[in-house]
Structure 1
Amino acid sequence: MLPHINTPFAYVAGILGASPDELKLITSFLLSYPFAGVLKRIPDSKPALKNLFIIWQGHRAVGASANDFFLFSVSSFYLVGLFDLWGGIRTLAISSIGAYCIAAYVQGPFMPWIGFVFLMGHLSVNQLARQFVGDPGAVDITGAQMVLVMKLSAFCWNVADGRQPEHELSDFQKERAVKQLPSLLNFAGYVLFFPSLFAGPAFDYVDYKRWIECTMFDLPAGVDPSKRAPTKKARKIPRSGTPAMWKAAAGLGWILLFLKLSGWYWPDLLTGDEYTTYGFARRVFILHMVGFTVRLKYYGVWALTEGACILSGLGYKGVDPVTGKIAWDRLCNVNPWGVESAQNTRAYLGNWNMNTNSWLRNYIYLRVTPKGKKPGFRASMATFVTSAFWHGFYPGYYLAFVLASFIQTVAKNFRRCFRPFFINTKTSQPMPNKIYYDIFSWLVTQLAFSFTVAPFILLTLPASFLVWARVYFYAVIGTAFSTAFFASPAKPYMMKMVSERTGKAAGGLKRTESTESLTSKEPVYGLPGDPSKDLDEAMSEVRAEMEARQRKGKGTVMTQ
């Protein structure tokens, strides 16, 4: 750590009631903006220089003589200049070098899984070490390592895809396949990309390669050249200052709101004696506000990091061929409005930590499934376990995950059985009274997740059960009663009524984004789409395996 650098952060932290490490983390996000501005201005024809800037940045050491300079990478300055995480450099180096060597020297179909196990195992060791230290306010390397696990495990899969015949790959795999192992310089730049070092967003190596070579900004064939995004001088990277500043402003707004509300709604309030003096309705409201306040911190952090990526140009997603409007949401990691206005579990989870959702889907769920088969129980379970282990080993995480999976199943059943009664069968448009359904489903979804995420915040089982008991386990009881209701003859009766109603429409109700959420079996954020069906499928697989072995055993006896 640079001499005396902690002093101003400790002073401001004492005023705001935050920890010095949290303030330094926000500072690192803000410093990424001027660094990203410089990075963007390095000539497009010199990608190696861009990599070197990411890896090595000249910085005068505090207290050094005029002739003494230390070379720091921007990322290294964050790690050891601000946080004194010397061990963090070693940790990132082990993961990065290990993944690169596995991708380079291990052949065969198991290479990506070897890389995945290595990366997750290394992360798990550090997650457990952090848990034993027990200081959630301190910044350690596990946050950066979680991002790196996504990037490097995806990298191993991309390299494996590059070794396969193209006709065996999906469109997604073809687009992201790495056919030639990158140079160490390119790989180091990808690993140490400073705007997303600590908190993401994660992205694939192909995105980084296209960005640093500026092929990302080429217009697709057939698009009018006049629709090309405006640039400065001879640069290919479009002007991105305005959208980046809007993101920065939004991020700072979320952070300021977090600082304001955290003085009123903080996690320890839920476990304190004062909480028991309130009535049930106010306890539930406070529980919701504590969760909302915690989310504000993530909204702010992810907006700030995304803004720095936009400023560097990496957030560029393309140009609308009709309007010429530029999209800068390639690395969008959260949609706050989508979360806070969600009327169902899939919308709630799908708008949260979107890059992790994408990683779990494309590099776990779809990869577990053998070619030619549809994903089933094994894919869902592998995704669920990966998501849980990736977050860490606090028991509160697993408590929240298990309850959320059952809530998601109940929510799907409710939407299947009740939502069609608020849709016009002739036009497939919402009826006037659907506003009441929307308000009710929004309220239930938000309150259910306010209850569910409490263990994610409190981390320990005693604290989680204490808080749940203080609100009378309302989400657990509601989920249990709902599960019993849909396991009774009531569900077939309701579905019969739905069929009769939708059958009156020609061809039934039209499929919409909302109805797609009912039929999709893919897990969101690692949660199984329908745990009951997954369990039924697992039992069917076990029975089929046992019957196959019995037949094989009988055949062996007969031949003898």
Structure 2
Amino acid sequence: MDLIDTKVIEWSSTTGIPDDQLKIFISLILCTLFGFIFKLSIRGRQARLTAGSVFGVLITYYIYRSQIINVLFQTVVVYILVKVLGKKSPWPVFVESMIFVAAHHIYRQYTDYGGWKMDVTTILMMDTPKWTAFAFCVSDGLKTQLSKEQEIRKIAKLPSFFEYFSFIFFFAGSVLGPCFDYYDFDQFINEVNEYKNIPSTIKETLRLLKNAIICMGIFLFTEKYFPLHFVATDEFGTYNVLYQTLWFNIMVAIQRTKYYGGWQLGEMSMASCGITYQGDGKFEKIKAIDVDWDLTYNMKDKVEKWNISIQTWLRRYVYTRIYSEEEMKKSASKQNFAYQMTYVVSSLWHGFYIGYYFSFFQWAIMNNVNKAIFRVSCNTNYLKIFETNPLAKIVRWYIATTVFNVFGITFLLLSVDPILKFYSNIRYVPHILLYGTYAFFLITNFGQKSKKQKE
């Protein structure tokens, strides 16, 4: 390990790429290569459980060294809670897991405020959905009234600790995710359903590698021309709104390529072994990102296409668990409460920089506005042009992207002072428009009722 670290430091000095990022890249490449071996030659449940978890532990140790103890400790604690509490385990596990990862966020902010260096918090964030989903699915196995999706994903019998451990430490997804449920993992290990005949994964793996290299290349070569913190300078405030909007939209698009690249590499390490295969020649069962995010003009789609595996976790194990789907259909207030609490959980999962809370609060308001606008388009003819006219669609896309980016910038700036400086520079125009529109719909209820409801 020390020899590898020495080489990584040398490469880091040569390339200018931080050593922790090089370690992550090397780990993902190793997982990908092992994925090919796993797919082609490792057969039988016990062999697949053992090989997948042993390699996963080695990779986790290589990246985090002694900090792997934190992951091992929490993995054991969750299993004990599930075994002891049974049907009542989901929320205790959820709360304990969130507190555990929160403590690491706080420690990281205290020791490396504003830093982006990889530490064990990275894998703890990706394992938290696994721990909590596992508890919910075991609990579902002891219940009778379940939704269709919950019925499919329930765990009828508590797996052995070794099976559960292999799920948590499975090498595919052990570096950057994306995360997945025990149901998908169990189906894959047993090679049943769509996993019976997984086609060659080479083409899909190379496609993801190509996308990742393109994205990372764009970021490395263009980020210096559109630096993030320029939006919080006095000079940025001297430009007109049109120039500012164009500039920060380009800047945020460049910043996104950094995430696209990392997530595509994460998907690559999973695709190589075939766990992302969903049948019909498609490898989209477990995803982190849709790279057409920048092309969609629907705000709902923008939310769902970003960090997809986490969006799925939030929907399955937060939003639909606070109240049942039937309860939320009958009560708009319950639906709204569950929706707001999902944003709160997402904020806490990310950490405690104030920028996260600025972003998620305003994204929540933005999505409420989006829902109101959607109802107007369904119930009236006022907005039909934005569905049919090509030029109007471009305007809609630009507005949706700009609003997302404005509040996404606060997610990147992290601290209060640069955030408020940025808001001041853009004259709070997006905020006035957002809150003004939200207040308009709250006060007037314009277009929110269909003709049938009115009658």
Instruction: Tell me the TM-score normalised to structure 2 length.
Output: 0.90
Please say if 1:86 is aligned against 2:66: yes
CA–CA distance in 1 between the matches of 2:230 and 2:167? 42
Q: Tell me the residue number matched to 2:254.
A: 293
Match of 1:483, SS?
Answer: helix
2:161 alignment partner AA? L
Gaps in structure 1 of 5+ consecutive residues: 57-73, 220-235, 320-325, 504-560
Q: Tell me the residue number matched to 2:155.
A: 178
CA–CA distance in 2 between the matches of 1:262 and 1:77? 34
Gaps in structure 2 of 5+ consecutive residues: 329-333
Matching residue within 416, 419, 431 for 1:461: 416
1:366 alignment partner AA? T
Match of 1:41, SS?
Answer: helix
CA–CA distance in 1 between the matches of 2:42 and 2:115? 41
Q: Tell me the residue number matched to 1:508.
A: none
Q: Tell me the residue number matched to 1:263.
A: 224
**C-alpha displacement of 1:27:** 2.1
Q: Tell me the residue number matched to 2:51.
A: 53
Q: Tell me the residue number matched to 1:478.
A: 433
Cα distance change on mapping 1:334 and 1:327 into 2, 3 Å: same
Match of 1:327, SS?
Answer: coil
Cα distance change on mapping 1:266 and 1:9 into 2, 3 Å: farther
**C-alpha displacement of 1:100:** 1.1
Q: Tell me the residue number matched to 2:177.
A: 200
Please say if 1:249 is aligned against 2:203: no
Listed as ranges, the matches of 1:356-435 within 5 Å are: 356-369=310-323, 373-374=327-328, 375-417=334-376, 420-421=381-382, 423=384, 431=388, 434-435=389-390
Cα contact 1:276–1:470 (8 A) shared by 2: yes
**C-alpha displacement of 1:197:** 1.4
**C-alpha displacement of 1:485:** 3.7
Q: Tell me the residue number matched to 2:331.
A: none
Match of 1:314, SS?
Answer: coil
CA–CA distance in 2 between the matches of 1:106 and 1:78? 32
Match of 1:106, SS?
Answer: helix
CA–CA distance in 2 between the matches of 1:153 and 1:308? 23
Q: Tell me the residue number matched to 1:144.
A: 123
Cα contact 1:365–1:383 (8 A) shared by 2: yes
Higher relative contact order (Cα pairs below 8 Å, separated by 6+ residues): 2
Cα contact 2:343–2:364 (8 A) shared by 1: no
**C-alpha displacement of 1:16:** 4.8
Listed as ranges, the matches of 1:521-536 within 5 Å are: none
Alignment deviations for residues 49-68 of structure 1 (CA, whole Å, 9 cap, x no partner): 22222233xxxxxxxxxxxx
Please say if 1:19 is aligned against 2:18: yes
Cα contact 1:112–1:157 (8 A) shared by 2: yes
1:261 alignment partner AA? T
Alignment deviations for residues 13-42 of structure 1 (CA, whole Å, 9 cap, x no partner): 445544221222122222211111111123
- Mean alpha-carbon deviation: is it higher for 20-29 or for 460-469? 20-29
CA–CA distance in 2 between the matches of 1:175 and 1:443? 40
Cα contact 2:314–2:346 (8 A) shared by 1: yes
**C-alpha displacement of 1:47:** 2.2
Q: Tell me the residue number matched to 1:355.
A: 309
Match of 1:212, SS?
Answer: helix
Match of 1:380, SS?
Answer: helix
Please say if 1:332 is aligned against 2:287: yes
Cα contact 2:355–2:415 (8 A) shared by 1: yes
Cα distance change on mapping 1:371 and 1:454 into 2, 3 Å: closer
Instruction: Tell me the TM-score normalised to structure 1 length.
Output: 0.74
CA–CA distance in 2 between the matches of 1:482 and 1:430? 20
Match of 2:124, SS?
Answer: helix
**C-alpha displacement of 1:144:** 0.8
The percentage of aligned residue pairs carrying the same residue is 22
Cα contact 1:42–1:50 (8 A) shared by 2: no
2:59 alignment partner AA? Y
Cα contact 2:155–2:183 (8 A) shared by 1: yes
Q: Tell me the residue number matched to 1:40.
A: 39
Listed as ranges, the matches of 1:539-554 within 5 Å are: none
Match of 1:139, SS?
Answer: coil
2:305 alignment partner AA? N
Alignment deviations for residues 346-400 of structure 1 (CA, whole Å, 9 cap, x no partner): 1211111111111111111111115852253442233222111111111100101
Matching residue within 302, 307, 310 for 2:268: 307
Please say if 1:436 is aligned against 2:421: no
Greater Cα radius of gyration, structure 1 or 2: 1
Cα distance change on mapping 1:495 and 1:33 into 2, 3 Å: closer
- Give the total of aligned pairs: 445
Q: Which has the higher helix share?
A: 2
**C-alpha displacement of 1:274:** 5.0
Q: Tell me the residue number matched to 2:168.
A: 191
**C-alpha displacement of 1:125:** 0.6
Q: Tell me the residue number matched to 1:114.
A: 92
Q: Tell me the residue number matched to 1:102.
A: 81
Match of 1:129, SS?
Answer: helix
